[in-house]
Amino acid sequence: MSFGFDFDFDLVSFIFTIFAWVAIGYIGFRIYRLQEQSPKIWKIVLVILIGIFSFSINFPVGSMVIHLYILPLGV
């Protein structure tokens, strides 16, 4: 009896993904440290996670689709 996991693992993609998350965490920590009145850590994490995502809304108008992209830059 043998067990196997059938998945592909890309080491370069994994390393750069970890690097990107570490960079985002470092920038968030620096901003947190520079605040005069520091907010709670969970609020910082929530704001960073919300700020990473973008939203898109598609409106079909006749035979054309209008795309509306929303980036939460003000977070």
Verdict on whether the full-model pTM lies above 0.75: no
Two tokens at 8? 């592909």
Q: How far is CA 39 from the centre of its chain?
A: 20
Residue 11 confidence (pLDDT)? 83
User: How far, in whole angstroms, is CA 65 from its chain's centroid?
Assistant: 26
Q: What percent of the chain has pLDDT over 90?
A: 9
Question: What is the distance between the alpha carbons of residues 58 and 67, in angstroms, rounded to a whole number?
Answer: 5
DSSP H or E segment with residue 20: helix 11-34
Instruction: Report the pLDDT value the prediction gives residue 18, as an integer from 0 to 100.
Output: 93
